Amino acid sequence: MIPALTIENLRKVYDNGFEALKGISLEVEQGDFFALLGPNGAGKSTTIGIICSLVAKSGGRIAVFDIDIDEDFPAAKRHIGIVPQEFNFNQFEKSLDIVVNQAGYYGLKPALAQKRAETYLRELGLWEQRDIPARMLSGGMKRRLMIARSLVHEPRLLILDEPTAGVDIEMRRSMWEFLQKINAQGTTIILTTHYLEEAEALCRNIAIINHGKIVENTSMKTLLRQLHKEIFLLDCVEELPQSVAITGFAVRRLDDHTLEVEVQKGQHINQVFAALDLESIHISSMRNRANRLEEMFVNLVEGDA
């Protein structure tokens, strides 16, 4: 199967001499839910900008469903839907007009454009707001409007640049569900986000970019398996003694009922439970101290610094 996106040795040097991309290469399979992560200024948005023609590349090759953008960019663009980081619509236009106009730019006749716009505005819960100027919508609604707009020509590859930034938790969850649904229907999705739990929950494959280079490109499972340690917080029923020690584990008493335990690769949390059980301390609940992907991300980015 041809890849949805192929990037080979992509380079970008801005006019001021800043080298934003230093020859990155990656491939995104059809149907994938792919995370492109990196700290601010790493080169994520530049990469996305080049894919959708808002940024001119300095070198390298990009193909979308095997269509080289240097040979037939308009054909490649037909397959791409983009949800940018910043709001980039006319705030004075009505939501429906924004989506219908976008369909028109892709050559969809007015009747079909109206039908598609209605479908996606309904799916994203914006149909009731269709006649409201975009500036009157809430931040979350504006983000959903950009998603509806990006889907109106039914692209096979959807690129979302921090789509849930500034969106409340409930709205974020509903957007996750929607994205998972369209991914299950066959749309390939590339996601950049600063919420690493979002990437961990949604994405199957991941690339981490830092200082314009890919520092990791693998499956989410493989990446998380590389974690050498995990830190758990245990909520204890009984009051903890002032000094707690478990052989082989780094343990820290946080308060009367909370214990922090570091579990190294190869160790088992059961050993901790057994040791506490001997002390007649029972665990009511347990959680990760930090998101696992976040730890991995920090390790990779700091290691590359």
Partner 1 sequence: MKVHEQYVAFLTIVRKEIKRYLRIWTQTLLPSAITMSLYFVIFGTLIGSRIGEMDGFTYMEFVVPGLIMMAIVTNSYSNVVSSFFGSKFSHSVEELLVSPVSNFVILMGYVVGGVSRGLLVAVVVTLVSLFFTDLSIHSYFVVVVVVFMTSTLFALAGFINAVYANSFDDISIIPTFVLTPLIYLGGVFYSMDLLPEFWANVSKLNPLVYVVNAFRYGVLGVSDVSLSFALGMIAFFTALAFGYSMHLLNSGKRLRQ
Annotate 115-141 with b (16+ C-beta within 10 A) or e (fewer). Answer: ebbbbbbebbebbebbeeebeebeebb
Q: Looking at this protein, which amino acid is placed at residue 32?
A: D
User: In angstroms, how far is CA 218 from the centroid of its own chain?
Assistant: 15
Q: Check residue 65 for interaction with partner 1 (CB under 8 A).
A: no
CB of 92 to partner 1, least distance (A): 8
Looking at beta carbons only, is 78 or 172 nearer to partner 1? Answer: 78
Looking at beta carbons only, is 39 or 81 nearer to partner 1? Answer: 81
Alpha-carbon span 203 to 125, nearest angstrom? 24
Q: Check residue 136 for interaction with partner 1 (CB under 8 A).
A: no
- The string of DSSP letters for 82-151 reads EE-SS--S-TTSBHHHHHHHHHHHTT--HHHHHHHHHHHHHHTT-GGGTTSBGGGS-HHHHHHHHHHHHH
Q: Check residue 60 for interaction with partner 1 (CB under 8 A).
A: no
Task: Give the length of the chain.
Answer: 305
Grouping H, G, I as helix, E, B as strand and the rest as coil, residue 87 is: coil
CB of 109 to partner 1, least distance (A): 6
CB of 232 to partner 1, least distance (A): 45
Query: For partner 1, which residue of 108, 147, 151, 259 counts as binding (CB under 8 A)?
Result: 108
Looking at beta carbons only, is 33 or 89 nearer to partner 1? Answer: 89
Q: Check residue 17 for interaction with partner 1 (CB under 8 A).
A: no
CB of 105 to partner 1, least distance (A): 4
Q: Which residues in 83-102 contact partner 1 (CB under 8 A)?
A: 84, 86-92, 97-98, 101-102
Query: For partner 1, which residue of 1, 56, 169, 278 counts as binding (CB under 8 A)?
Result: 56
Q: Check residue 117 for interaction with partner 1 (CB under 8 A).
A: no
Q: Check residue 55 for interaction with partner 1 (CB under 8 A).
A: yes
Q: Check residue 52 for interaction with partner 1 (CB under 8 A).
A: yes
Looking at beta carbons only, is 65 or 297 nearer to partner 1? Answer: 65
What six digits make up the tokens of 65? 């469903």
CB of 93 to partner 1, least distance (A): 8
Contact 95, 145 (CB under 8 A): yes
Alpha-carbon span 63 to 7, nearest angstrom? 7
Alpha-carbon span 1 to 274, nearest angstrom? 50
Alpha-carbon span 232 to 210, nearest angstrom? 28
Positions touching partner 1 (CB under 8 A) are 14, 49, 52-56, 73-75, 77-78, 80, 82, 84, 86-92, 97-98, 101-102, 104-110, 149
